[in-house]
Chains A and B, each alone.
Chain A
Amino acid sequence: MITKSRLNRTQLIALLLPGLLLFAAFTVYPIIRLFWMSLCDMSFSSMLTQPFNGIENYKEVFQDPTFWTVFVNSIVYTLITVPGQMAIGLFTAILLNGIKRFSVTFRVINYLPVVTSWVIASLVFRYIFNTEGLLNYFLWKIAGVTSSNIRWLDTRWGGISVAMILGIWKGIGWNMVIFLAALQQVPQDLYEASAIDGCGAWGKFVHVTLPGIQGTILFALIELTIGGFNVFTSIKMITGGKPAHLTDTLLTWMYYKAFSTGKFGYAAALSFVMALSLGLLAIVQFRMMRNRDN
C-alpha cells in the first residue's frame, strides 16, 4: 500500500515524531520516573545519591495519620461534588431541552463559571464565605437561618464545604452541555410510546431518559472522578490546608510534602498510589461502558 514507499514512510514518521517526542518526554517519562522515585529515598539530605529503599515511602504514607485525613477529604469531595454537579447539570439540561426561546442565552450564562479560572473563582468564593462576609451576613441578619457567623474558612468541614460548593458551581455548565447533547439523541418516539403506556414525567425520566443517556452518564462519571481527585487550586486558595492540614486534599498535601518539606519520595509514593488507583477505576468504568455497548 501507500506506506510501502520509502518517501511516504519517512513522511509518516516525520509527522508522528514531534508530538510523540514531546508527549514521551514530558508526560510518559514523568509517569515512569514517578514510580521509580517512589521507591527511592529522595529527601534533601540524600538528594545526590537517592538510594533505593523499596516500599519505605509507601509504608510512611500509609502509616501517616494526616494521609488518612486528606484521603477522607478527597473521597468526601469527590463523592459529593460528582453526583451534585451531575444531578444539577442534568436537571438544567432537561429544563433547557423543553424550551425554544432563550435556550442559547441560558446555556451561555450557565457555562461561564466553567471558563472562569480556578484562581479567580476560588478568590471570589473565599471573599463571599469570609466570616464577616456577604453570605454569613445574609444567612444571619437577613434570612435569619443562623444565629451567628459560621466560621467557614477555618474549620475542617467548613473549608471543604466551600471548596465543594465552588466545585459544583464550576462544574454544572459542563454537565449541562454534554447532557443536553445526549438528551437530543434520545429517540422521540420512545417518549411517545411511554406516554401511551401511561408513564408520567417521572416514569419517562426513569424508563426512557436515563437508559437513553447511560453512556454519557458513565463518561461524565469517569471524567469527573478524575477531576474530583485532581482538586488543588481551590483548596490552596480558599483554605491553604488550614487549620493544621485538616482541609488539605491528597494533591495539596502531596504538594506540601514535596515542595515545603522536601519529602519527594513520600510525595511520589502518594502520587503513584493515586494515579494507579484512578487508572484502575477508570478502566473498570470503561469496561462497564463497553459492556453496555455490546
Chain B
Amino acid sequence: MKSLNGAKIRGMILRYFLLALGTVIFTLPMIYMISTSLRPNGALYEYPPRFFPKWEALTLENYSYILNQSKFYVNFLNSAFVSLSTITLAAAVSSAMAFVLGKFKLKVNKLIFGFIILTMIIPGTTMIVPQFELATKLNLVNQLWGLIPFYVAWVIPFSTFMIKGFMENIPGEIMEASWIDGASVWTVYTRIALPLASPAIASVSIFNFLTAWEEYPWANTVINDTSKRTLPIAIAGFFGQHQFTQWGYVFAMSVLTLIPVVLIFILCQKFFVQGLTAGSVKG
C-alpha cells in the first residue's frame, strides 16, 4: 500500500514538473517580446543578444513614443469600432437565424444549414480575390466601415452554428406555453429565446471580437490610408518601414494591442471554454 502511494506522489510531482517546464518554455516568446519592448531601441542590435535587458537599461521610451503619437489612438479606435460593430451585428443576425433554424422546421432550413457547413470547411482566404472584386464594385475599398459586412459575413456560419446548438436545447415546453398564450414569433424570440441563449451569444461574441481585432489579410488588402488602418496593419506597417526594423516600437505597440485581448480572455475565461468545447465533444 505504501509503495502505491509513493508512486502516486511521484506521478503527481512528475505532472507538475512537466507542466511547469512546458509552461516556461511556452511563455518565453511572450516574455521576450515584453522584455524587448522595455529596452532602448539602440540596444536591440547588440551582440550577444540578451533575454533580459540590463536592469539599468530598462526604459519605457518605446511606450512613450507610441503613446505620444496620435496615429496609435486612431488605429486603436479604428480597431475598436470595427470589432465592436462586427460583434453587435453578428450577434443580432446570427441569433435570429439560429432561432429560426433551430426552433422551426421550415423547408429551406436544410439548404441554409448546408451552405453554412459548406462555408465553414473552406479556408476563408481562398475567397479573397472575388471578395476584393465585390468590395471594389460596392465601393467598399479603403473604407473603414467597409470591413464590417465582410467580417460579419465570415463569422455568421460559426456563430449561427453555435447559437443554434444552444437554442435546440431550450426545452420545447417553455415556448409551447407562449404559443398557446398567443405570443408572436418576434415576442418569443426577444422575450424567451434571446435571454436563454445569452451565454452562447456571449461566448460567440468573444470569438468574433478576437477575429475582427486581429484580422490581417483582408484589412491589409482593402485599406490604404494610414488614418483608416486597424492595429494589425499598423503594426505590420511599422515593421519593414525602415531598413532596420525598430523592434522596440513594434513590440511596445504589440503589447498595447494585446492588453485588451488578454484582459477580455482572462475575465471571460468561462465563456471561452464553453464556446470552444460546445462543438467538439458532441461531435
Contacts and interface: CB of A to CB of B under 8 A. Distances in A.
Contacts of B262: 112, 115
Contacts of A177: 273, 276-277
How many B residues touch the partner, as a band?
35 or more
B145 to A, nearest CB: 14
Contacts of A39: none
Q: Which of A23, A99, A254 has the most CB of B within 10 A?
A: A23
Contact of B19 (A99, A104, A127, A137): A99
A2 B179 CA distance: 7
Interface in B231-272: 232, 235-236, 239, 247, 250-251, 254, 257-258, 261-262, 265-266, 269, 272
A77 interface: no
Q: Which of B33, B123, B257 has the most CB of A within 10 A?
A: B123
A130 B22 CA distance: 23
A233 interface: yes
A133 B49 contact: yes
B217 A182 contact: no
Contacts of A161: none
Given A22-B152, A108-B266, A116 B127 contact: no
B68 interface: no
A37 B185 contact: no
Contact of B11 (A98, A178, A227, A255): A98
Contacts of A259: 132, 221
B76 interface: no
B36 A120 contact: no
A163 to B, nearest CB: 14
B32 to A, nearest CB: 6
Interface stretch (A11-19, A62-70, A151-159, A202-210): A11-19
B250 A123 contact: yes
Contacts of B235: 119-120, 123
Given A11-B185, A30-B134, A117 B129 contact: no
A174 B125 CA distance: 21
A25 interface: yes
Contacts of B157: 23, 27
B276 A178 contact: yes
Interface in A103-134: 104, 106, 108-113, 115-121, 123-125, 127-128, 132-134
A185 interface: yes
A15 B185 contact: yes
Contacts of B195: none
A264 B133 CA distance: 10
Contact of A181 (B15, B99, B250, B277): B277
B16 A99 contact: yes
A153 to B, nearest CB: 13
Contacts of B11: 98
B153 A220 contact: no
A230 B123 contact: yes
Please report whether the interface of chain A is mostly helix, strand, loop or mixed according to DSSP. helix
Contact of A37 (B12, B93, B129, B189): B129
A108 to B, nearest CB: 6
Given A109-B23, A230-B123, A255 B128 contact: yes
Interface in A15-71: 15-16, 18-20, 22-23, 25-31, 33-34, 37
Nearest to A220: B280
Contacts of A116: 30, 258, 261
A134 B32 CA distance: 9
A26 B93 contact: no
Contacts of B130: 29-31, 33-34, 37, 268
B216 A216 contact: no
A6 B179 CA distance: 15
Contacts of B153: 22-23, 25-27
B131 interface: yes
Contacts of B100: 12, 15-16
A270 to B, nearest CB: 8
B96 A3 contact: no
B134 A26 contact: yes
A279 B93 contact: no
Contact of B283 (A22, A102, A289): A289
B58 interface: no
Contacts of B99: 15
Nearest to B217: A232
Given A16-B97, A118-B214, A134-B51, A8 B185 contact: yes
24 contacts: A12-B104, A14-B186, A18-B96, A19-B93, A19-B97, A22-B156, A26-B154, A37-B129, A37-B133, A96-B19, A111-B265, A116-B261, A124-B251, A132-B45, A137-B47, A141-B48, A174-B276, A178-B277, A178-B281, A181-B281, A232-B125, A232-B217, A274-B123, A278-B123
3 A-B pairs closest in CB distance: A117-B214, A26-B153, A19-B93
Interface of B: 11-12, 15-16, 18-19, 22-23, 26-27, 29-30, 32-33, 36, 45, 47-49, 51, 92-94, 96-97, 99-100, 104, 106, 112, 115-116, 118-119, 121-134, 149-150, 152-154, 156-157, 160, 179, 184-186, 189, 210, 213-214, 216-217, 221, 232, 235-236, 239, 247, 250-251, 254, 257-258, 261-262, 265-266, 269, 272-273, 276-277, 279-283
